[in-house]
């Protein structure tokens, strides 16, 4: 455990940021999975709504540096293609 006051605060800040980062990563992964499930179930409206949400959160992940831009573009493209083929 740290002895210096600023180090103690830094530990708390890092823990909070780590938690927020984990939440965003998990949200992105879950949205992609949910969108795939909706596509498999042929639920057009739900898939479109989830696609919009997934794209929004993928872009947030890129802006925060969790995901490379090419990876994000590839995932968005694949999801969009699946939804368009379904409709």
Rounded to the nearest 10 degrees, what angle do helices 44-64 and 69-86 cross at? 170
Report the pLDDT value the prediction gives residue 64, as an integer from 0 to 100. 92
- Cα–Cα distance between 27 and 35 in angstroms, integer? 12
Burial of 20 (0-12, 13-18, 19+ CB in 10 A): exposed
**84 in Cβ contact with 41 (< 8 Å):** no
Classify residue 11: in a domain, yes or no.
no
How far from 72 is each of 32, 54, 66, 67, CA to CA, in Å? 11, 10, 10, 7
The pLDDT, as a whole number, for residue 1 is 79
DSSP 4: S
Tens digits of pLDDT across the chain (87 residues): 789 999 999 999 999 999 999 999 999 999 999 999 999 999 999 999 999 999 999 999 999 999 999 999 999 999 999 999 986
Domain that includes residue 78, residue range? 31-87
Residue 9 covered by a domain? no
The answer to whether residue 42 sits within a structural domain is: yes
pLDDT of residue 42: 93
């Amino acid at each position: 455990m740290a002895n210096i006051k600023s180090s103690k605060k830094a530990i708390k800040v890092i823990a909070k940021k780590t938690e927020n980062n984990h939440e965003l990563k998990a949200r992105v992964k879950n949205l992609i999975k949910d969108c795939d499930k909706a596509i498999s179930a042929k639920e057009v409206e739900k898939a479109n709504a989830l696609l919009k949400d997934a794209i929004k959160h993928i872009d947030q992940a890129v802006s925060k540096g969790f995901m490379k831009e090419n990876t994000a573009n590839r995932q968005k493209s694949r999801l969009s293609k699946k939804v368009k083929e379904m409709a």
